[in-house]
Amino acid sequence: MIKLFKLIFRKRSLLLRVVGYTVAIGSLIWVLRDFHVVRAVHDMANADWRLVLVGMVLDVLSYGFQAVRWKLLLTPFGKVRNSRSLRSIFAGLFANLVFPLRPGEFLRSYLLSNAEGISLGRVLGSVGVERFVDLVIATAGLGIVSLLVQAPPGYGPSESIRHFDRAADILGVIILALLIVVVALVLYIEIRLGRGKREKPDDRHVPGRFMQAMIVLHAMGTAPSFYPAVAVSLMIPFCQALALWVLMHSYGLQLSFMAAVVVLLVINLGVSLPNAPANVGSYQFFCVLGLSIFQIDKSRATGFSIFAFIALTLPFVFLGFAALLRSGLSLRSMREKVSTFPRQSLGRTTVKRS
């Protein structure tokens, strides 16, 4: 059975890789069509590089908050050092820059699990909780900005804004349904544990591994450290939106902070799809799409998307590579881990009990 799962995973991974590269190439073709290179070079040359530096620092700071959140989520299972959490995150970001399909989530989980002696299942569970919290915050943000965002002066309500409002409503309904399901599962585990029933792998009603995953989710969601983790989560998109807004002003795009929030939400939702290394193509496409809501000329929006991509990616080339070496991995060993870890994890999902 494990061999069958590995074969299915290998074929699925290949399919997602093909889809990711196809999307990236198609996105770049659309973005670069009618692109005025000379104008973009002129805009970049006239950028305020002091603001660019501020934007870089703010973006790096957002991952510092992510490291603190990760530490808080894992508090029920052991004491995690901020330095190791941050180092694992930077190493994972570097893996995402080099490989497609965002394998950095697996790599950072593996590194932190080894460094802190916490079972891999629990660390991966914390990453899943991170993603769910981020999705809830993003959906709430979409709902708020859909009420506050307006078309630039001189323009009527654009078709893009109407589509944005509709997408925010649909996504909000979906996330609300998922949130209800998750809360119901946590309450179910709370009742089971309250009755003193310890879940066994051969439970007739709920699969053992699924129950173990729910126990991990229950431990995180009911721990006192969960609420500070959610509060810290709010600082992550805030710093990233602030970084993007600062870069917009450095480039000469005089948009509001709420506009930067909208563009960031569109980018983050877009790059969550299968994509090429470093989100090349997808980042530019969704950045241009987000800026089109505010009637920014496509050629200028393309220039900014390239400018912002370079400014926000460059720090992690150095920080991520340094974190990778500090973790004891080389580029070759990282490639081996990235290529083998997801398949190996199929047979290593058992969660240790404390």
Give me the pLDDT at residue 140, please.
79
Give me the pLDDT at residue 273, please.
74
Query: Is 46's pLDDT higher than 90?
Result: yes
Let me know the angle formed at the C-alpha of 124 by 99 and 231, rounded to the nearest 5 degrees: 105
Model confidence at 138, in pLDDT bands (50, 70, 90)? confident
**C-alpha closest to that of 249 among 60, 46, 41, 42:** 46
Q: Say how far apart CA 279 and CA 262 lie, in whole Å.
A: 19
Query: Is 349's pLDDT higher than 50?
Result: no
Please check whether residue 230 lies inside any domain of the structure: yes
Average pLDDT over residues 162-188: 66
Higher pLDDT, 162 or 20: 20
pLDDT, tens digit, 9 for 90 and up, residues 235-292: 999 999 999 999 999 999 999 998 999 899 889 888 877 678 888 999 999 999 999 8
Give me the pLDDT at residue 352, please.
38
Give me the pLDDT at residue 291, please.
93
Please check whether residue 329 lies inside any domain of the structure: yes
Q: Give the number of domains in the chain.
A: 1
Give whichever of 154-158, 167-171, 202-206 has the largest mean pLDDT: 167-171
Count of H-run helices and E-run strands, the chain? 13, 0
Tell me, yes or no, if the pTM score tops 0.75: yes
At 293, give phi and psi (nearest 5°). Answer: -60, -30
pLDDT, tens digit, 9 for 90 and up, residues 6-45: 444 455 567 777 777 888 889 889 999 888 899 999 999 9
Give me the pLDDT at residue 8, please.
47
Higher pLDDT, 198 or 305: 305
Query: Is 342's pLDDT higher than 60?
Result: no
Q: Say how far apart CA 108 and CA 92 lie, in whole Å.
A: 5
Q: What is the dihedral angle through the alpha carbons of 11, 14, 19, 25, rounded to the nearest 10 degrees?
A: -160
Give me the pLDDT at residue 220, please.
85
Please check whether residue 203 lies inside any domain of the structure: yes
Give me the pLDDT at residue 278, please.
86
Please check whether residue 13 lies inside any domain of the structure: no
Give me the pLDDT at residue 350, please.
39
Give me the pLDDT at residue 203, please.
43
Percent of the chain topping pLDDT 70:
73
Please check whether residue 17 lies inside any domain of the structure: no
Please check whether residue 36 lies inside any domain of the structure: yes
| Mean pLDDT of all residues belonging to the chain | 80
Give me the pLDDT at residue 212, please.
65
Please check whether residue 19 lies inside any domain of the structure: no
Q: How many CB atoms lie within 10 A of CB 155?
A: 11
Residue 354 token pair: 């404390």
pLDDT, tens digit, 9 for 90 and up, residues 316-338: 999 999 998 888 887 777 877 77
Q: How many CB atoms lie within 10 A of CB 247?
A: 25
Q: Say how far apart CA 251 and CA 247 lie, in whole Å.
A: 6
Let me know the angle formed at the C-alpha of 327 by 321 and 111, rounded to the nearest 5 degrees: 110
Residue 341 one-letter amino acid: F
Please check whether residue 227 lies inside any domain of the structure: yes
Average pLDDT over residues 177-205: 59
Give me the pLDDT at residue 236, please.
96
Q: Say how far apart CA 162 and CA 160 lie, in whole Å.
A: 5
Structural domain boundaries, residue 92: 26-347
